[in-house]
Structure 1
Amino acid sequence: MPSDKTLSGNIITPAVVLYEFDGPQIFVSRMGFVDVLFVKVDDDDDFERYLATYTSDGIIEAVLNGNISVRGAFLHEQCWIVDTDGYLAIRECWLCSRDDLPASYLPDRNVAIRVGFPPLPNSMAQAFAFFGMGFQGEQIDHRSMRFSILKRIIDESHDAARKILSPIYLSGSRSSTFDFTVAQPEFGSLILSIKEPTINLQRAIKKSADSTVKPQVSNIQGEFVAQRSAFFDAMDEIVDEAEKGEISGSLAIERFSVLDQIQNVIPTGEGIIEDAEFSSYASGKTASLLVREEVGARLHRAFKTAEKNPIIEVGRVEIVNARRNSFVLLSSRGRLVTCYIEPESFANLKADPRFRTGARLSVRGLLTRRVLRDMLSVDGTPQLLS
């Protein structure tokens, strides 16, 4: 592309230095009436080369606070490649689109400005989303993507978000009870930024009418927040173990519900997703969790192994069938599960006045997946939850 030499000789003066190593590496400079963010991408004895793009106080604050990665600050559609001498005097520059950039010029994905920060989102929208999901893969590209791949990821993400974020008493609810608004998807590779749920209070109250857990109308939104926090707590634990090696069987059984919820939105070594990222924003902080391909494959193997052993299900009682010593559970996975119990254990359970339709409980047993309703052969007596 032709270079622009009209700025030749102008001196770039760093106003805010974000990172310095043997001179400014990442900094902000005022250029005319706008702020421009620079990152050094190359140098030798004769010149220094920078990638530059428009920026703002909000973007810089997000980088410094650990809300977005450095790469996330360089995703403007237009940018410049700027060559300078050793005193930051411009020699020439090139205006280019993001698609024209050499891949090596963009900062690494998910890397924060400071050591010690976890992997961070590469998008402002995702960084400040109630719940964000980002996907990368060879077949997931911001320039073009097969329609079938886009539909599959959108559908699986929709189902996963509802399962992860829904309070148990709203599990299986239709969108008329609660739904999410999604910011315009960003194709870099594919980023979905979900806003706080929109709740139909009348329907939500009706859904909870038979539940032993009586939500406060004013706090239904807070229960979605609690579900989100529980998800990140569980994922932190299992991803941390998976990064060290294979997941223990006991942890896979304990966290079976979470593993089940994420199977279609993480890399498994067998699909189109190579990296998956989950994020959320609350109280000025962005929580972010990156699942790379090797870690995702370990999570998938742990899930498949756990399926063959007794697992733990948590959910809400939908139907009680005393004649068959069974009940139907709506699990936190969003599935109906028929649970069969030994007669003595069922008698003990029935004697508890809390056991009825709407009761919340935890059961352990061997799961059999079926088309309409899964089946669980329960070990021992289920535990009623407050």
Structure 2
Amino acid sequence: MWSINEPALAPWTTDPIVPDEVLYEFDGPLTFTASFGLFSAFFHNIGQRGNSSFFAVVQISTEALDALRRGALSVRGALNSPNIWILDLGRNFSVQRYWSCEQEDFPEKLLPKRNVPIHAGMDLAPDSLEEANAYFSIAFTGEKLKRKSIPFNILKSLIDDSYEAARRILSPAYMAGAKSGTFDFPARAIPGSLILTLDQPTINEVYLRKRTIDAPLSVDDAQVSFEKQRDIFLGDTATLVAQASGGKLSDDLAEQHFALLNNLQKIIPSDDNKIEGVVFTARSGEATTSVAVNERAGTTMHRAFKRIERRSVTDIGRIEIVNASSETFVYRSSRERQVTCSVSHETFKRLEATGNLRHGSIVRVKGHITTRQKRDAMIVEEVIALVPPPPPTIPQ
């Protein structure tokens, strides 16, 4: 680990550092860029001692600098480089000495806080350019999630859980139960804690046509529905986090987002895993949106879900079976569970009369769910929505 007590290198120049663009200042430039020969360098103040100001310095690309300016990349993300120089600058910004170290050896306490943008008025920002540019990304942090290595069992668990969660939270309700042959997300794992980035889904046109045979969707239409679902996920998760960050999540809000909380259980911080934080990020055009779930919010969301599991909850899914003789229907939940719904005689007849109680329709129901090995069961209290295919994306 680097420290100021390590042997320093002598200045390579007697000329003072001249900022090209000052990004943040307080009694002088604290975060700025400067030209070093043919490349641009990013400077961020990490402390002062006597007449010395210490700066962490990295080479920065035009793309990263632009993302930083518009709030699509955090200050920490701008410093995300394999090599970091630490410069000791005098009062006139002359180089007094400097050090070079790898990012793994740079003290965590000297780095900016995670997901903090360059200006206070901006929203949360991702800590890497890969996240900022991704269709969707999941970035985990934790004591055991190091840049150099991650315990194999934790790596396998997070990737498996992320795969399951991403397919559930990003796919429209009419894709519930669809296999990877119907759609999948090209993905990459990025070094640095654990960052998973997903590209726009690839959709098999033949399988899509079979799935939406009653009212066929084009691949372009399906892509739009995935984007809507992604945006709904980010918005709903932000709503949950805003309340959970205070240490309490109301039962009413948790009940309304039962399916979402269920799908998030294994990829947010809780008492049961090694995750300290997770950030979800998506880019749409020039806009980048991030939602961060820290330990407090994640644990609160996890406990709220456990608390409401046995209560009346709201769920959503795609109808797969209608059994007129028993006056029940089965839907495939966005939780990837089949649920047999029992309704009153009057309700079943009313639903039948609409013509929408059929295979492929999207249903949103409220009731008590009993978990069973093969297929869950629900005593339905209310049918909130019943939409024929192809449906609009319904908030969870």
Q: TM-score range by the shorter chain?
A: over 0.9
2:73–2:129 CA contact under 8 A, matched in 1: yes
Partner of 2:84: 79
The structural deviation recorded for 1:217 is 3.9
Runs of 4+ in 1 over 6 A off after TM superposition: none
1:369–1:375 CA contact under 8 A, matched in 2: yes
Render the CA deviation track for 1:28-59: whole Å, top value 9, x for unaligned: 11011111111111212221111101012211
Q: Pick one of 101, 109, 116 that aligns with 1:104.
A: 109
Partner of 1:299: 301
The structural deviation recorded for 1:89 is 0.7
User: What is the letter of the counterpart of residue 240 of structure 1?
Assistant: A
For residue 196 of structure 1, give the secondary structure of its aligned residue in structure 2: coil
Q: Pick one of 157, 160, 166 that aligns with 1:155.
A: 160
The structural deviation recorded for 1:6 is 4.7
**Alignment partners' CA distance in 2, 1:56 and 1:142:** 21
**Alignment partners' CA distance in 1, 2:151 and 2:295:** 21
For residue 191 of structure 2, give the secondary structure of its aligned residue in structure 1: coil
- Residue 296 of structure 2 corresponds to residue 308 of structure 1: no
Partner of 1:195: 199
- Residue 239 of structure 2 corresponds to residue 242 of structure 1: no
Partner of 1:182: 187
**Alignment partners' CA distance in 2, 1:291 and 1:17:** 31
Render the CA deviation track for 1:176-217: whole Å, top value 9, x for unaligned: 11111113x22321111111111111111111114xx65344
Identity %: 36
For residue 17 of structure 2, give the secondary structure of its aligned residue in structure 1: coil
Partner of 1:67: 72
Q: Pick one of 55, 60, 63 that aligns with 1:55.
A: 60
Range that drifts further, 153-162 or 343-352: 343-352
Partner of 2:33: 28
The structural deviation recorded for 1:312 is 1.1
Alignment of 1:131-150 (within 5 A): 131-150=136-155
Evaluate the alpha carbon distance shift between residue 6 and residue 381 of structure 1 in structure 2; reply closer, same or farther with a 3 A threshold: closer
Render the CA deviation track for 1:99-137: whole Å, top value 9, x for unaligned: 121222222211110012222110100111111111111
User: What is the letter of the counterpart of residue 192 of structure 1?
Assistant: L
Q: Pick one of 5, 8, 18 that aligns with 1:3.
A: 8
Evaluate the alpha carbon distance shift between residue 382 and residue 120 of structure 1 in structure 2; reply closer, same or farther with a 3 A threshold: closer
Render the CA deviation track for 1:197-243: whole Å, top value 9, x for unaligned: 11111111111114xx6534431111100100111121122111212
1:8–1:91 CA contact under 8 A, matched in 2: no
Q: Pick one of 365, 371, 374 that aligns with 1:372.
A: 374
Render the CA deviation track for 1:317-367: whole Å, top value 9, x for unaligned: 101112222111011222211112223322222232221111211111101
Partner of 1:205: 209
User: What is the letter of the counterpart of residue 355 of structure 1?
Assistant: L
Partner of 2:260: 258
1:163–1:333 CA contact under 8 A, matched in 2: yes
For residue 46 of structure 2, give the secondary structure of its aligned residue in structure 1: strand
**Alignment partners' CA distance in 2, 1:45 and 1:139:** 36
**Alignment partners' CA distance in 2, 1:40 and 1:218:** 47
**Alignment partners' CA distance in 1, 2:361 and 2:323:** 14
Range that drifts further, 346-355 or 292-301: 346-355
User: What is the letter of the counterpart of residue 190 of structure 1?
Assistant: L
Alignment of 1:328-367 (within 5 A): 328-367=330-369
**Alignment partners' CA distance in 1, 2:376 and 2:300:** 25
Gaps of at least 5 residues in structure 1 are none
1:364–1:379 CA contact under 8 A, matched in 2: yes
How many residues get paired? 383
Partner of 2:95: 90
**Alignment partners' CA distance in 2, 1:2 and 1:16:** 31
The structural deviation recorded for 1:8 is 4.6
Partner of 2:128: 123
- Residue 171 of structure 2 corresponds to residue 169 of structure 1: no
